[in-house]
Structure 1
């Protein structure tokens, strides 16, 4: 059994969005090593993102230059779900990028990507009912 976490980081300013990522651990220890799933800007300035996976990172580690701020345990997940997270990540990144092409640069971000994945896992009954509602209450700005 693995554990799925929502992790967020300090924002660069009080008006900036916090960076959100999903992390998988096999322990409930804060110093546990995790595999992080996230999207990162592709660098072209058009509000497009690419999925990124980082392995063997401490659950509460700094992300780039952003200090760790908090986390929420989303639930226990089976190994087959862990194996499918990269596919979920890629699909959610495509959805975020599609929305940004329609709406405008950067209107949809890593938080939306995270919520798409959580909603999908909850709808498939791979996370407990109410997980999405708990995640929606996590801090988003500054």
Structure 2
């Protein structure tokens, strides 16, 4: 079965604050589709933890802010769907590792998403240019 991978971003709490990014998978390419949402969130110790939420409308609001936009990154197959949770966990570990070396907040959910998209694109599981599209998405307020 073919799914669709989206980058979704939400309103920032202030103009100078960062927007929260998530990756979402749907089986339909429309706004009414239900999605499985992959994201990282900061825990009480300041580390990013991977989180998966199922059966969320693609354009629903997020606890961190109102839905603001999305881009379709490409079609993905079942093999990719099975790998997204481990990809998310590994990307969270990489972000946490870099933050330990460079300081808290050096890397964010944006870096987490780009690590995953770069890996999928390098493996030819997403179309060429997906990472370039992600890099252009709004990050701040």
**Structure 2: 5+ residue stretches without partners:** none
Q: Does 1:109 align with 2:108?
A: yes
TM-score, normalised on structure 2? 0.98
Instruction: Give me the whole-angstrom Cα distance separating, in 1, the residues matched to 2:29 and 2:117.
Output: 19
Matching residue of 1:57: 56
Do 2:17 and 2:140's aligned partners in 1 also have CA atoms closer than 8 Å? yes
Partner in structure 2 of residue 17 of structure 1: 18
Q: Which runs of 4+ in 1 moved over 3 A?
A: none
Pairs within 5 Å for 1:65-80: 65-80=64-79
- Deviating more after overlay: 61-70 vs 112-121: 61-70
1:139 corresponds to which residue? 138
CA–CA distance in 1 between the matches of 2:48 and 2:12?
Answer: 18
- Quote how far apart the aligned CAs of 1:65 are: 4.4
Instruction: Let me know the Cα RMSD of the aligned residues.
Output: 0.7
Partner Cα separation in structure 2 for residue 76 and residue 29 of structure 1 = 13
Distance 1:65 1:129 in 2: 31
C-alpha distance in 2, partners of 1:15/1:43? 23
CA distance in 1, matches of 2:27, 2:78: 10
